[in-house]
Structure 1
Amino acid sequence: MLKVENLTKMFGGLAAVHDVSVEFEARKINAIIGPNGAGKSTFFNLISGVHKPTSGRILIDGHDVSRMRCDRVARLGVGRTFQTTHLFEQATVLDNLIVGHRLRTRSGLWDVLINSKRLQQEERECREKARAALDFVGLAHLENRVVLDISQEERKRVAFALALATEPKLVLLDEPAAGVNPEETEGLAELIRKMPEHGLTVCLIEHKMDMIMGLADKIMVLNYGEKIAEGTPAEIKANPAVIEAYLGSDYDAAA
């Protein structure tokens, strides 16, 4: 699903990501971990088209997206959430999700002016996709609530649903459990586990190691922009370089 070859991103003289190569299988949960400033979010920005690589290639489902605009990458099937949840707070939950499926519509200004049949059909499709995504994340009962009035954990789920409404193949989740309590974290983990069962490939960044170790099929570890390890959770927990750079000896002992 995702193949990265010798990926490098320079900001001035700083290599935020340096010569990283990795492959993530389809319908698996893949995680990226590492200290703050390790290059994890920059890696996501490269995959989703926010940044263009200085060198290297990014292949999604066989398509080279290294130089593609964000919207074209999204149309190829890449959905994303962010560390900070970005939603239209004064709009309803459902209206936020309808925006997500606009990516798949073709209506233009003329369709709006004449209220064309194509526009009407696409409006119905957007609502159907929005409701399906909302049902998937367990929030169908909140479709008419204003986002400003829902909890942080519910906003996280709405952000998941917004990504799903774009009809992705690959979902990038940037710290999905940040700011929620342990019980809510487990609920979000269960939601992430559902995604591969429905044909989605998941790649997530997260600092909650208990969550990652119980969730991921494969983990890549970044440090100072470089890949220092990749493997199963058991392999990562036992890797001396990862213990030294990120997990620490206390985590190793507890594990």
Structure 2
Amino acid sequence: MLKIDGLTKRFGGLAAVNDVSVEFGANQINAIIGPNGAGKTTFFNLVAGAMPPTEGTIVFNGQSIAGKAPDAIARMGIARTFQTTMLFEESTVLDNLIVGHRLRTQSRLWDVIVNSKRLRADEKRCREKAEEVLDFVGLSHVAQRYIADTSQEERKRVAFALALATDPQLVLLDEPAGGINPEETDSLAQMIRKMVDHGVTVCLIEHKMDMIMRLADKIMVLDHGEKIAEGTPEQIKNDPVVIEAYLGSDQDVEA
């Protein structure tokens, strides 16, 4: 689904991502791990179009997306969440999700001015999609609650739902389990698996190694912007280069 070759991003003399090549297959959970400053979020920014690469190619479903605008990439089928949830605090949960499906609608300014039939149909579809994804993440009961009044775990689920409201084929999750407790982490891990079971491919950045080792089908390890390993959780946890660079020589990671 996603094929990346020689991906590089330089900021002056610093290479935040340096000559990374990797392929992520469809209907899998693909994880990216590495120490702080390893280039993980920059990698996501390049794939999602937040910044152009200095060098290299990014091909999604056979089409080059390197350097395309974020909205164009979203319409092609890539959605993205952030380590810090990016939601409208003073709007309801449902209204936040209605916004998510707007990129799939055709209404323009003139439709708004005349309150066209197309506008009304688009609004209906957006509301139906918002209700659908809200039910998917198990938050239908908080549809009318303001985001400012939701818990951290609920915000994580709303962020998942917002990504799903765009009808993506691939979702990039940036530290989805950050700031939540172990029980909530297990619940979100089940949600990620549910997404894949329903045909959405997932690529996530995460520091909670127990979660990654249980969940991921494939793991790529970055260190100082370079790929130092990739493989199954079993291969990664036994890779001496990974152990030295990230896990620590004395760390015991449970599969």
Q: Which runs of 5+ in 2 are unaligned?
A: none
CA contact (8 A) 2:219 2:231 kept: yes
Q: Which residue pairs with 1:173 in the alignment?
A: 173
- Indicate the percent of aligned positions where both proteins have the same amino acid: 70
TM-score by length of 2: 0.99
1:82-231 paired onto structure 2 within 5 Å = 82-231=82-231
Offset at 1:253? Answer: 7.2
The whole-number CA distance in structure 1 between the counterparts of 2:147 and 2:185 is 20
Give the match's secondary structure for 1:83: coil
Could you give the per-residue CA deviations for residues 10-39 of structure 1, whole angstroms, max 9, x where no partner exists?
011100000000000000000000000000
Q: Which residue pairs with 2:7 in the alignment?
A: 7
Moved over 6 A (4+): none
| TM-aligned CA distance change 1:253 to 1:120, over 3 Å | closer
TM-score by length of 1: 0.99
Q: Which runs of 5+ in 1 are unaligned?
A: none
The whole-number CA distance in structure 1 between the counterparts of 2:89 and 2:23 is 37
The whole-number CA distance in structure 2 between the counterparts of 1:71 and 1:203 is 19
Could you give the per-residue CA deviations for residues 115-170 of structure 1, whole angstroms, max 9, x where no partner exists?
00000000000001111111111101111111111100000000000000000000
Give the match's secondary structure for 1:250: coil
Q: Which residue pairs with 2:46 in the alignment?
A: 46
Q: Which residue pairs with 1:74 in the alignment?
A: 74
The whole-number CA distance in structure 1 between the counterparts of 2:250 and 2:129 is 46
CA contact (8 A) 2:9 2:53 kept: yes
Offset at 1:106? Answer: 1.3
Q: Give the number of equivalent residue pairs.
A: 255
Could you give the per-residue CA deviations for residues 233-252 of structure 1, whole angstroms, max 9, x where no partner exists?
00000000000000012224
Offset at 1:254? Answer: 6.4
CA contact (8 A) 1:219 1:236 kept: yes
The whole-number CA distance in structure 2 between the counterparts of 1:168 and 1:26 is 12
Give the match's secondary structure for 1:45: helix
The whole-number CA distance in structure 2 between the counterparts of 1:128 and 1:59 is 32
In structure 2, what residue type is equivalent to 1:218?
K
Q: Which residue pairs with 1:65 in the alignment?
A: 65
In structure 2, what residue type is equivalent to 1:208?
K
CA contact (8 A) 1:8 1:19 kept: yes
The whole-number CA distance in structure 1 between the counterparts of 2:115 and 2:244 is 61
In structure 2, what residue type is equivalent to 1:43?
F
